[in-house]
Amino acid sequence: MRILVALDQDMRSAHTLSQVTQLLVNTWANVTLLGIVPRKSDDGGVPMDFVDTMNQYHKAVLQGFAAEDLPYAPADDDYEIAEIRPGIYEKIGNTHGGIKELTVRIRVGNPTQTILEEAQDCGSDLIVLHGDMDSQQKIATKADCSVLIVKKERDTGRILCFLDDDLLSQRSLEMITQMAVLFNAEIEIAGLTDKQSVEEKIEKKLDWLIHYFNGKGIQPWIQLVALSYLEPFILEQDHWSLVTMWMGETSIFKRLFSVNKVAKLLESRKSSVLLLR
């Protein structure tokens, strides 16, 4: 698994990083910590305070591991930030050389564009960002991979998954399983139906999903939700710590929800949101 964590100097980034570190401790994923700055400093480089912040983030991730379990190269105070391509800076030093890669990068430019470009460049399976980032809704709707938007600090004891008649990818199911294991969380699946055309399809898919999760020792809770009631239903679900939605090309969320609606939905939620692709 390869994870891209988008970070800024907001306090929420530190919380997001602590959540990601939990995921990294379990998965030993290859990870890129990506800092975004809108423009270069007056001397034509990256603002030094931001470089310091990224260095602190790097150290915070490593400190989440016991020394004997560290899959990444240990941090080195003797490092430099080099411009590897125009507008893309990378911490050079002891960041490579572990069993897994931990890359620290800073990109200058528009946050949405730089995050999406970096996700493409590194081939990320998951983009993680905090819920106060201005670009969250654009990333959520435009990314090719899954996106986790981390909201308020709370125990992730329950995961609510919305299921429609779109094709489920193996990758998205694997992502949910990892989240359930990571947070020791219960899974509830809400099958979305208009009671005419999709009900049979959804029921078949729910049966298949129950079988899939049971085979993995997970017993999901199941319910059906009418499409006409979808929006208020979502807004009622804030007691869930993590809400996941499939966002495939033909998914209901993609078909029925405009970018603005997704934006509103993401902004209004207190739960973290995982958009699966």
Binding site for other proteins (CB under 8 A): 1-2, 25-30, 69, 71, 99, 123, 125, 170-172, 174-175, 177-178, 181-182, 215-216
Query: Nearer Cβ to other proteins, position 1 or 210?
Result: 1
- Is the distance from CB of 199 to CB of 228 less than 8 angstroms? no
* Neighbouring residues of 201: CB distance < 8 A, sequence distance ≥ 6: 165
Query: Nearer Cβ to other proteins, position 182 or 198?
Result: 182
* Neighbouring residues of 26: CB distance < 8 A, sequence distance ≥ 6: 178, 181, 182
Distance CA 120, CA 277 (A): 14
Query: Nearer Cβ to other proteins, position 171 or 254?
Result: 171
Pairing between strand 272-276 and 146-150?
antiparallel
Query: Nearer Cβ to other proteins, position 31 or 46?
Result: 31
Least distance to other proteins, CB of residue 65, Å: 9
Least distance to other proteins, CB of residue 240, Å: 22
Least distance to other proteins, CB of residue 12, Å: 25
Least distance to other proteins, CB of residue 147, Å: 14
Classify residue 144 by its DSSP letter: S
- Is the distance from CB of 88 to CB of 107 less than 8 angstroms? yes
Residue 222's Cβ-side half-sphere holds a number of Cα atoms within 13 Å equal to 17
Rounded to 5 degrees, what angle do the CA atoms 114, 118, 123 make? 155
Query: Nearer Cβ to other proteins, position 112 or 124?
Result: 124
Least distance to other proteins, CB of residue 108, Å: 28
Query: Nearer Cβ to other proteins, position 170 or 196?
Result: 170
> What are φ and ψ of residue 221, in 5° steps?
-90, 145
Partners of 187 in the β-ladder: 159
Least distance to other proteins, CB of residue 74, Å: 16
- Is the distance from CB of 150 to CB of 19 less than 8 angstroms? yes
